[in-house]
């Protein structure tokens, strides 16, 4: 029995020794694994940020290009408008010089005075009797109902169905 006890202790010591060795190996590998994981995470973050920067730069360039095309389109449009205005002004100048040559200074004076009279012009106002307001059927029904007419009388007067009149009155309540 004594021998069994000694063998048991020896086996326990050997197993504890192997456990200690395994623990030390694992503790040495763990920092290396942590460093690898940290390095991988840093690489992923760096690649993600560079990708975001590239996307932002691409978007910025697209916005600049769109703005440039808008500006060039606006400049073209402005040039076209000014060209058209110049053509119109030239035609006006040509016609006005021809008019001056034909009609003379007195006619031009009469035109200017006529334009001043035109500014004093006020349009005629319609007479009160001519004003006729077209009211909707709903407003007609409501006004007749307020006057005290029954639903049947309103329907006969407006050539509508009794159900329509009832429905419109219910909606307005």
pLDDT digits (tens, 9 = 90+) for 112-143: 555 555 556 666 666 655 555 557 788 888 88
Which tops the pLDDT comparison, 36 or 33?
A: 36
**Structure confidence at residue 7 as a pLDDT band (50, 70, 90):** very high
Q: Which residue has the tokens 């029954």?
A: 150
Under 8 Å between Cβ of 141 and 154: yes
Rounded to whole angstroms, the Cα distance separating 80 from 111 reads 32
Rounded to whole angstroms, the Cα distance separating 151 from 160 reads 10
Rounded to whole angstroms, the Cα distance separating 113 from 172 reads 59
Under 8 Å between Cβ of 66 and 74: no
**63 and 148, same domain (yes or no):** no
**109 and 143, same domain (yes or no):** no
- Whether 10 maps to a domain, the answer reads no
Rounded to whole angstroms, the Cα distance separating 147 from 65 reads 69
**48 and 84, same domain (yes or no):** yes
Alpha carbon 127 to chain centroid, angstroms: 47
* pLDDT for residue 145 is more than 60: yes
Rounded to whole angstroms, the Cα distance separating 116 from 113 reads 5
Which tops the pLDDT comparison, 43 or 71?
A: 43
pLDDT for the residue 153 = 92
Mean pLDDT of the chain, nearest integer:
79
pLDDT for the residue 58 = 92
pLDDT for the residue 97 = 57
**111 and 34, same domain (yes or no):** yes
Looking at 70-84, 139-153, 154-168, which range is the least confident one? 70-84
- Whether 127 maps to a domain, the answer reads no
Rounded to whole angstroms, the Cα distance separating 11 from 3 reads 12
Rounded to whole angstroms, the Cα distance separating 131 from 149 reads 27
pLDDT for the residue 34 = 77
Rounded to two decimals, the pTM is 0.31
Question: Which residues constitute the domain of residue 154?
Answer: 136-172
**111 and 153, same domain (yes or no):** no
pLDDT in tens, 44-97: 889 889 999 999 999 999 988 888 888 787 777 777 778 777 777 777 666 655
Under 8 Å between Cβ of 10 and 2: no
* pLDDT for residue 108 is more than 70: no
Continuous segment of H or E residues that includes residue 138: helix 137-146
Question: Which whole-number Å values give the CA distances from 80 to 83, 87, 131, 144, in the listed order?
Answer: 5, 11, 47, 61
- Whether 77 maps to a domain, the answer reads yes
Which tops the pLDDT comparison, 152 or 27?
A: 152
**Structure confidence at residue 8 as a pLDDT band (50, 70, 90):** very high
């Amino acid at each position: 029995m004594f021998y069994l006890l000694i063998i048991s202790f020896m086996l326990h010591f050997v197993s504890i020794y192997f456990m200690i060795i395994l623990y030390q190996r694992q503790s040495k590998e763990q920092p290396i694994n942590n460093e690898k994981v940290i390095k991988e995470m840093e690489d992923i973050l760096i690649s993600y940020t560079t990708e975001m920067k590239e996307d932002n730069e691409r978007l910025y360039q697209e916005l600049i290009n769109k703005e440039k095309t808008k500006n060039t389109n606006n400049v073209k449009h402005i040039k076209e408008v000014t060209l058209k205005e110049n053509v119109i002004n030239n035609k006006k100048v040509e016609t006005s010089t021809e008019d001056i040559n034909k009609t003379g200074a007195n006619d031009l004076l009469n035109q200017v005075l006529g334009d001043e009279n035109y500014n004093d012009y006020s349009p005629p106002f319609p007479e009160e009797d001519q004003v006729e307001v077209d009211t909707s059927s709903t407003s007609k029904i409501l006004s007749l109902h307020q006057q005290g007419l029954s639903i049947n009388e309103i329907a006969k007067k407006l050539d509508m169905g009794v159900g329509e009149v009832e429905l419109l009155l219910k909606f307005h309540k």
